[in-house]
Amino acid sequence: MLQYFYPSTLLLLLAFWCAAADAFSAPASQAATDVTTIGSLTVPSIGCGTIAWSTNKVTGRPNPELVSLASTAASNPNGVFYDTGERYGSHAKTALGMGWGETECLVAKLVNNDAQSNTQPAVVATKFTPSPWRTTVESVVEACKESRKRLGVDSIDLYQIQMPDIVKPLKFIGLDKSYDSVYWDGLAECYERGLVKNVGVSNYGPTLVTECHEHLAKRDVPLASNQIAYSLIGRHNGAQQTLDTCNDLGVKVLAYYPFAMGLLTGKYTSEMPELSAENALTSSLIKSRRSNFERKDLERYAKGDGKIIPTGGVAPLLRTMERIANEREKTVAQVALNYIICKGAIPIPGARTADQYVDNMGALQWRLTDAEVVEMEEVADNLGFSFDGAGFKRSNAKFVGYGMETWSLT
């Protein structure tokens, strides 16, 4: 553990505890109780996404920023909830489908390093990826066993299917049979064998999540979660209907893209206080490490193009969020996360540094009022567009090597 200790960690821990103590309008007893449930699990009301995590390409060791993040998260009195997947990874071999499990191994290493300092055991969710060669119940079980081995656990906390069975490279010759129900039976088999504690799905709309829920119920296996893209500007593509259906079924929604890929963060306003959130967003996009393809789409959302996106883009909503954030002495990003909590979902923002993690956790221990939620939704609804992703990163599609395959939540 000593070789992973960084002096800045002490300052970050101090900032974390100060933020918890100063939480807006929260009872003192709530400091250690801002948690929710996913099936049998008790987790913080905000998770931590790991899709952007990476190791040093030369040494293979975790990057210092991630080590600091994990150390900070280990001290969270609410515990920590990491979301990962067997296909997550930054190396070329992972992108080409030859190095699955990179991020699972990284998460395990970081969690194990901080196991003794954890105030609560870390909860880790991972995902099974539907693939053309996976067509049997046993293929799900074998993938689960491999993920379990990489994570270093006897039983995975939450095992999810990453998306509907849409990868069909030979559909042009009629080979497009769906194996969704086979995968559901695979989840049930993993649950019944004790390989996993809970099962979930991802990117399922109201119809498919209901079918899956009913299918698993026949084997007395509860469907714990459904992970979808959801944010203030990502509610009009079937996401809100999906959330409502899941809430009715007792299936917890995990929300990825809670910041709409950074559009709802008001980035860099703390470093450049003279900039409004909307101007800071434009500045952050210019400095962004995103691909030109992604940046072009995000700039269109940010400023509008007068065609698909009305002129002004997301600016009217950012101004409203910034006013609410200032009134509450919170950040725009924290308002975006708290909104999702208020809607009954668990936001899963990505974080690569302890600073980002601490800021995300600042959305805990307080709640927006109903009036604030309604006001932001009205402004968002009047923007004239809905967020569906940028570049190859879409909320309703995935690049699968031979092209883009899509799904629909409607």
Q: Which residues are catalytic?
A: 88
Helices (H) and strands (E) in the chain, counts: 14, 14
CA distance 141 to 393: 28
The span from the first CA to the last CA of the chain, in angstroms, equals 48
Tokens (6 digits) for 102: 């990179």
Joined tokens for residue 171 = 């559909």
Q: What type of residue sits at position 135?
A: T
**Which among 221, 88, 93 is positioned nearest to 150, based on CA atoms?**
88
Rounded CA-CA distance 346/360 in Å is: 12
Sequence-distant (6+) residues with CB within 8 A of 3 are none
DSSP conformation letters of 180-226 = HHHHHHHHHHHHHTTSBS-EEEES--HHHHHHHHHHHHTTT--EEEE
Residues linked to residue 223 through DSSP beta bridges, in sequence order: 199
Output the CA–CA distances (angstroms, integers) from residue 170 to 22, 128, 167, 174, 360, in the order listed: 57, 21, 9, 7, 42
Residue among 92, 96, 86 nearest 51 (CA)? 86
Show the tokens assigned to 115.
Answer: 């196991």
